[in-house]
A and B are shown apart, each in its own frame.
Chain A
Amino acid sequence: SQQGEEDPQALSIQEGENATMNCSYKTSINNLQWYRQNSGRGLVHLILIRSNEREKHSGRLRVTLDTSKKSSSLLITASRAADTASYFCLGTSGSRLTFGEGTQLTVNP
């Protein structure tokens, strides 16, 4: 299994601060993706980074990938209360899709 593990499991910050979440995985991947889930509803795709990429940006999001350490991080800059959600990483390898355990982010106004 290439189940990802995220840390921290829960993160509480103040509005305006940056939030960093990490994800580790066990086997080789083609790409790694981050998703957001509000209140146990459907997940929304945030960003995808391929195995030959090291860093990617999208708006306030920055994701890094270290294939030698089999880890990725998601940074949300200048957080807002609306960023409060659960964040999951997903490693894909061919047709195998495995989600990490998730980080519950709370941004306090």
Chain B
Amino acid sequence: SAVISQKPSRDICQRGTSLTIQCQVDSQVTMMFWYRQQPGQSLTLIATANQGSEATYESGFVIDKFPISRPNLTFSTLTVSNMSPEDSSIYLCSVDQQGEKLFFGSGTQLSVL
């Protein structure tokens, strides 16, 4: 199993500012996934972050809005840039184990005023 420490757990931000979310994993993993969960909705994959290469973004998500860093095999950050109220969501990082089950951080609940 993998244990993921995600922070912050929640934040309230002003429109136009940026927030960086961090995820630290207790073991080395190849891929890390970043998800967004809008209120009352399911999880939508934002991007897949591989160490040593550019993140792969899903349709509808762009690097300028959601830059991702993956400096090593245990750490990643997601930045939500130039925030608007529409960005209010829960953001979750996850890793997979042997390409099968996913382990999740506890999530970051973001509210943008």
Contact = CB atoms under 8 A, between A and B. Distances in A.
A45 interface: yes
Interface in B24-63: 31, 33, 37, 41-45, 48
B106 A41 contact: yes
Contacts of B19: none
A97 B102 contact: yes
A97 B47 CA distance: 11
Nearest to B4: A42
A87 B109 CA distance: 19
Interface string B80-113: 0000000000101010100111111111010000
Interface string A22-48: 000000000101010000111111001
A92 B31 CA distance: 15
Nearest to B109: A40
The secondary structure that dominates the B interface is strand
B42 A88 contact: yes
A102 B100 CA distance: 19
Contact of B104 (A43, A98, A101): A43
A59 to B, nearest CB: 16
A95 interface: yes
Interface string A69-109: 00000000000000000001010100101111110000000
Contact of B102 (A40, A43, A102): A43
B101 A48 contact: yes
A32 to B, nearest CB: 11
A88 B100 contact: no
Given A31-B100, A35-B102, A42 B92 contact: yes
A52 to B, nearest CB: 14
Interface of B: 4, 6, 31, 33, 37, 41-45, 48, 90, 92, 94, 96, 99-107, 109
Given A40-B37, A97-B45, A97-B96, 19 more contacts: A33-B100, A40-B90, A40-B107, A40-B109, A41-B106, A42-B4, A42-B104, A42-B107, A43-B43, A43-B92, A43-B94, A48-B100, A88-B42, A92-B100, A95-B31, A95-B48, A98-B45, A99-B42, A101-B41
